[in-house]
Amino acid sequence: MSAIVSWIWLKKWQGLALTTRAMANAASGMAVHDDCKLRFMELKTKRTYRFIVFKIEEKQKQVIVEKVGEPAQSYEDFTASLPAAECRYAVYDFDFMTAENVPKSRIFFIAWSPDTSRVRSKMIYASSKDRFKRELDGIQVELQATDPTEMGLDVFKSRAN
């Protein structure tokens, strides 16, 4: 009889351990596709892109690259690439001049979450943001934006210094 009780206790404990691990993985957010890290490294080290827009694929439960902007593309091209009613993550390589007339660059991470996007989407993006950001080593400035005025060029300039 005690062997049966021990076996039942063991199975319950294993099930609890599995449930705890599953909850920890769910709390950490979506998986990050390798292409996201590769493209970000190219932006950071080679300056191959001006910006990268990332999207969460809910069915595959992972973050993927949705769009890249060539180095010659402008800030307006970047803002036009963000959907008006859907959440996205983005990185933008912002070039500016310091007060001493020295050219500099800052890599911005933008969490784009428009007011018109679905609540479920906002929750998924918010809960996955920190883990995704950790995968992109080299982010210098973070912005949270719900409408275009919260990430205007003036905001970029003030946050870059």
- Please give the average pLDDT of every successive group of 10 residues along the chain, which has 161 residues: 54 47 46 97 97 96 97 96 97 95 96 97 96 96 95 94 82
Any idea what the CATH number is for the domain that residue 93 is in? 3.40.20.10
Print the SS3 string covering the chain: CHHHHHHHHHHHHHHHHHHHHHHHHHHCCCEECHHHHHHHHHHHHHCCCCEEEEEEECCCCEEEEEEEECCCCCHHHHHHCCCCCCCEEEEEEEEEECCCCCEEEEEEEEEECCCCCCHHHHHHHHHHHHHHHHHCCCCCEEEEECCHHHHCHHHHHHHHC
Range of the domain at 123: 30-160
Encoding tokens for residue 139? 């982010």
Cα distances (angstroms) measured from residue 114 to each of 58, 81, 94, 147, 153: 18, 14, 22, 6, 18
Angle at 65 between CA 130 and CA 61, to 5 degrees: 60
Q: How many domains does the chain have?
A: 1
Within a domain: 44: yes
Q: What is the pLDDT of residue 19?
A: 37
Within a domain: 128: yes
Q: What is the pLDDT of residue 105?
A: 96
Within a domain: 98: yes
Within a domain: 149: yes
Between CA 48 and CA 71 the distance in angstroms is 6
Within a domain: 20: no
Angle at 155 between CA 151 and CA 160, to 5 degrees: 115
Within a domain: 25: no
Within a domain: 85: yes
Within a domain: 65: yes
pTM for this predicted structure: 0.81
